[in-house]
Amino acid sequence: MSSRAPFALEIQAFEAGSPPPHALSIDLGDRSYPIHIGQLDWLGCLAEAQLGGRLAVVISNPVVAPLYSSRLISALRTRFAAVELHVAPDGEVAKEWSSLQAILGKLADLGADRDVVLFALGGGVIGDLTGFAAAIYMRGVCFVQVPTTLLAQVDSSVGGKTGINLPQGKNLVGAFHQPQAVWADLDVLGTLPAREYSAGLAEVIKYGPVADPAFFAWLERNMDALMARDHTALMTAVRRACEIKAAVVAADEREGGVRAILNFGHTFGHALEAGLGYGALLHGEAVALGMLMATELSVRALGLDSQLLQRLKSLLERAQLPVRAPYLDPERFLQLMRGDKKAAAGSIRYVLIPVLGQACLQVAPDALALEAIASHSASVTK
């Protein structure tokens, strides 16, 4: 079994207070950008970012656009000569060639040039789709992430990963393309359906096992407040998640090393999404199940204390996330994981946890992986 020492990650100590908004940035040299968190004035954010020009295009979906597009468009009209809205399909099915082509075609029809700015108003799907369109239209234009789901605010909006899915796997086509800014308004989470909110908590929880035991313990103490959408608790959780992700991305923008820890649970989770059909599980639900399987594999392959597995399972249950996956044929499961972007020469590399707060990228025997899958999956087909 090949292995690698745990990745070293330097992040500031966790402080469980109520930090002010507008205080985060991601340090990438001339590609650095601010991450605004809190109760935001989008007009103020726009002025601070010094964004303006001939054309802005807001990309959203049929669920989010009726709720928030008018507010954003009103702010943009103070700085842009023209503002257009494009509504993409809702859900994971939107991350496909036809949706991407529709955005690119709209930009071309509008006569958009390299000065256009795209605004991704929605969850992770809209952010990934808009970011990829921005990365390839005229070989790269500016975009701003305006995440409206908890999952997008704590994960997908930060770091510049963009892309679409293929039938063979998730996010297999894409590009690294950093936004100009991230505007995470916590107030918009009030309209998020309960299932979507819980799915976002999975991406919050993942930061504890791989990077921050103190944050993991804080989540255990404060999960009830988070489930009640308490503003102070949310501010702490979203800020800490963004702090950790910003530190990881600044150290490894293009995922050549330490950034792999952010894929904890995703190798299993992406296989579940592809194998069950996109939309059967929300991304965060698949990640929750994947984290359990990866932790189980860490117990079996690395000797991780099994108590952490029980703590994680309990925390996921309190967040109203699934802890038993629908049945997926084991050989199909392995086949899909071999197509994962972290795989090398046909070997599946997993993000595993040798101890709480550390992570490594490691190959493990298929037999152990299948045991981990079976431990957290339904035993019969439906």
Q: Which residues are annotated as a binding site?
A: 90-95, 124-128, 148-149, 161, 170, 203, 266, 283
Q: State the Cα–Cα distance between residues 92 and 41, nearest whole angstrom.
A: 29
List Cα–Cα distances, 7 to 96, 220, 259, 351, 361, in angstroms.
33, 25, 9, 10, 8
Number of H helices, E strands in the chain: 14, 11
What residues are labeled active site?
139, 161, 203, 245, 255, 259, 263, 266, 270, 283
CB count in 10 Å sphere of residue 314: 13
Strands 182-185 and 169-176: unpaired
Q: State the Cα–Cα distance between residues 133 and 135, nearest whole angstrom.
A: 5
Do residues 330 and 373 make contact, with C-beta atoms less than 8 angstroms apart? yes
For residue 12, the 8-state DSSP code is P
Q: State the Cα–Cα distance between residues 263 and 42, nearest whole angstrom.
A: 31
369: enclosing H helix or E strand: helix 366-375
Six-digit token string for 179: 């936004």
The beta-strand segments (E) located in 234-343 are: none
Please work out, in degrees rounded to the nearest 5, the angle formed at the alpha carbon of residue 352 by the alpha carbons of 225 and 194: 30
Strands 360-363 and 349-352: antiparallel
Do residues 288 and 268 make contact, with C-beta atoms less than 8 angstroms apart? no
Do residues 370 and 358 make contact, with C-beta atoms less than 8 angstroms apart? no
Alpha helices for 154-230 (secondary structure H): 194-205, 207-211, 213-227
The alpha-carbon radius of gyration of the chain (Å, integer) is 20
Q: State the Cα–Cα distance between residues 82 and 79, nearest whole angstrom.
A: 9
